[in-house]
Amino acid sequence: MKRDRISNVRLFRGDARFIVRDVLERGSLSGIYVNFPDPWPRKRHLEKRLLRAPFFELLSTRLADDGWLSFTTDHEEYFHFGLEEAESTGLYHIVRADPPAAALETKYAMKWREMEKPIFHATFHRLKAAGHSPPLIQRIEMHHAILDGDLSTVTGFEKVVRRFKGGTAIVLEGFRDLTNASLIFKVRVEETDLVQEILIQAYQKEDGVFVSLQPFGDPLSTRGVREAVHAVTDFLASTGLTVRQKWI
Ligand SMILES: C[S@@+](CC[C@H](N)C(=O)[O-])C[C@H]1O[C@@H](n2cnc3c(N)ncnc32)[C@H](O)[C@@H]1O
């Protein structure tokens, strides 16, 4: 992209449900290609499939009026499953046809073509948007806590798991920084379709120990991030520091 001076492309590696729900505006999307998505063939894994009714409903709110989804797969059972799931929402007009040429040039398309596997394709044209539009992830402003005590008295570390409505925050590791002035905690925050690994820092000031989110990795400031601050605060409190202030 850099070499060819292409500047109108954005790459995102992560869950498509997150980008569709939390990044794209209502009605902003012309179309979406889903090429050979993981079929999750086992019955107990079916809910991991991307092309299920909830995704079709969500997508209908993000697609433009004449927006579409192009689905190409080698997996006949998932193909029919996808058709039924979309059909059940009543939001799409489904057209079965030959796959677009480019969908036959992907890494997996080449593999299946070499094996002469049949390839299935349908395009789902949006008829209307679902009545309810799932909200964007809620961004939260306030993210710190203050404790009384001396951070240098904290010498050990234990993993902390904090569950909250909508997710879990797991304090995985604790480090002392090279200047000895602060502790840094690596926290994994799992929310509906967003997983972030973030750094929470606890640093000593004259008037207390401040616990806050570090900007490293450009984290999205969500409810789960606030819970991560609480999880670290709870850990510090368990070592003998006293919580003076925290925001719930
Ligand atoms: C069999 S590979 C196909 C890769 C590529 N599209 C191709 O045609 O060569 C399945 C891909 O689907 C992606 N995938 C499955 N579910 C997804 C989801 N919910 N969000 C984003 N990607 C997903 C996986 O990460 C994986 O890269």
Using the mean position of ligand 1's atoms as its centre, give its distance from the Cα of residue 38 in Å. 6
Return the residue whose CA atom lies nearest to atom 6 of ligand 1. Answer: 35
| Phi-psi label, residue 36: left if phi above 0, alpha if psi -120 to 50, beta otherwise | left
Predicted local distance difference test score (pLDDT) of residue 44: 87
Per-residue pLDDT averaged across 30-49, rounded? Answer: 93
Using the mean position of ligand 1's atoms as its centre, give its distance from the Cα of residue 49 in Å. 10
- Active site (catalytic) residues: 38
- Of all residues in the chain, the percent with pLDDT exceeding 70 is 96
- Checking if the pLDDT of 6 tops 90, the result is yes
Predicted local distance difference test score (pLDDT) of residue 135: 65
Of ligand 1's listed atoms, the one at least distance from the Cα of 108 is 9
Predicted local distance difference test score (pLDDT) of residue 222: 86
Task: Provide Rg for the chain, Cα atoms.
Answer: 23
Predicted local distance difference test score (pLDDT) of residue 165: 87
The number of residues making up the chain comes to: 248
Dump the DSSP string for 95-150: EE-PPPGGGGSSHHHHHHHHTT---EEEEEEE-S--SS-PPPPPB----EEEEES-
Using the mean position of ligand 1's atoms as its centre, give its distance from the Cα of residue 106 in Å. 11
- The C-alpha angle 113, 48, 52, rounded to 5 degrees, equals 85
Structure tokens at 207: 């008037």
Extended strands (E) in the chain: 29-35, 63-73, 92-96, 120-126, 144-148, 160-164, 167-176, 182-191, 194-205, 208-213, 242-246
Write the pLDDT tens digit of every residue in 68-99. Answer: 999 999 999 999 999 999 999 999 999 999 99
Per-residue pLDDT averaged across 112-124, rounded? Answer: 95
Using the mean position of ligand 1's atoms as its centre, give its distance from the Cα of residue 39 in Å. 9
- Checking if the pLDDT of 248 tops 70, the result is no
pLDDT band at 5 (very low <50, low <70, confident <90, very high): very high
User: Which of 11, 32, 36, 115 should be mutated for ligand 1, with most atoms under 8 A from CB?
Assistant: 36
Write the pLDDT tens digit of every residue in 121-153. Answer: 999 999 999 987 766 666 677 678 999 999 999
Write the pLDDT tens digit of every residue in 174-228. Answer: 999 888 789 999 999 998 778 899 999 999 998 899 999 998 888 888 889 999 9
Predicted local distance difference test score (pLDDT) of residue 86: 97
The set of protein residues with a Cβ atom below 6 angstroms from ligand 1 is 15-17, 35-38, 50, 106-109
Predicted local distance difference test score (pLDDT) of residue 18: 85
What is the reported pTM? 0.70
In the three-class reduction of DSSP (H, G, I as helix; E, B as strand; rest coil), residue 22 is classed as helix
User: Which of 20, 46, 49, 50 should be mutated for ligand 1, with most atoms under 8 A from CB?
Assistant: 50
